[in-house]
Amino acid sequence: MRIVCLAKLVPDVESFAYDYERNVLVRDNVHQVINPEDASALALALDLKKTYPDTTVETVSMAPRSALPHLQDLVRRGVDRAMLVSDSRYAGSDTYVTSRILARCLGRLTFDWVLSGTHSLDGGTAHVPSQIAEALGVAQVSNITDVERDGLASGSTIVDVDSDDTVLRFAVDGPAVLSLQYSTRIKLPYIPYEKLDQDVSDRIQVVDNDLLGFDEDEVGLAGSLTKVVAASVRRFERKDTRYVRCDDEGVETVYAFLRHEGLLP
């Protein structure tokens, strides 16, 4: 079984930065983390590898070259090979362009399943997995909460899908793109101590536009169908917090506040 996982690097909330002139997120030289839902998909793939030793797990990530250490760590955790799609010409690409780029990369690989998260912390549109599947001509399911593991190995699986007030169940034949929700039931394995400084450069491929061959007006801001016209920072008014005891004085303080706000006569 060959599984390819999409691993998006997203800015850590503590180092979030935005370029207001170009209206894009700053990704260079910013501390990044693996998108949590993508991490759940990767954790599932690596856990499957324990049960089915013939399974190969590859990752594909579109990010600046500063993401290389993250991919190296994924290989040290058990991923067989990693592909970093990185080119300055891709900066500012929207979900449409990103999907086309990643689909062209995946088209160069052999796989039974593509696993990803449904949403990303820095976007949340859930467009990319569906658009990739459309470009590849395969099925796709989002918001997956559970997967029949034996089915993945046999090429036809059952997935449970969160649909707000109910859970839906679908049968899916591979190859297909399966997009998971974040799960706390399974986590990425730790890097074994003896592999902390392991040289894994021979298992990481860096791909740029010289290989993929997009015209410059097809990628980046020029090729994007969605444009951010402007962005602003929402400023929140600081509220004072008051603590009261559960006694007569505290109750009277609460009543006085409610009357002042017009919530009591």
Residue indicated by tokens 């891709």: 90
152-178 burial: b if 16+ Cβ within 10 Å, else e: bbeeebebbbeeeeeeeeeebebbbbb
User: How much is the pLDDT for 10?
Assistant: 87
Summarize the confidence of residues 256-264 as an average pLDDT. 83
CATH architecture of the region 2-223: 3-Layer(aba) Sandwich (3.40)
Structure tokens at 216: 């410059």
pLDDT band at 27 (very low <50, low <70, confident <90, very high): low
Structure tokens at 181: 């929700």
Given a contact cutoff of 8 angstroms between Cβ atoms, the answer to whether 76 and 204 are in contact is no
pLDDT tens, 31-90? Answer: 688 999 999 999 999 999 999 999 999 999 999 998 999 999 999 999 999 999 999 999
CA-CA distances (angstroms) from residue 123 to 41, 53, 55, 119? 18, 35, 31, 7
pTM of the model: 0.80
Residue 112 above 70 pLDDT?
A: yes
Q: With 80 as the cut, is the pLDDT of residue 18 above it?
A: no
Report the SS3 class of residue 148.
Answer: coil
State CA 76 to chain mean position distance: 20
Alpha-carbon gap, residue 137 to 199, rounded angstroms: 37
Element (H, E) at 2: strand 2-6
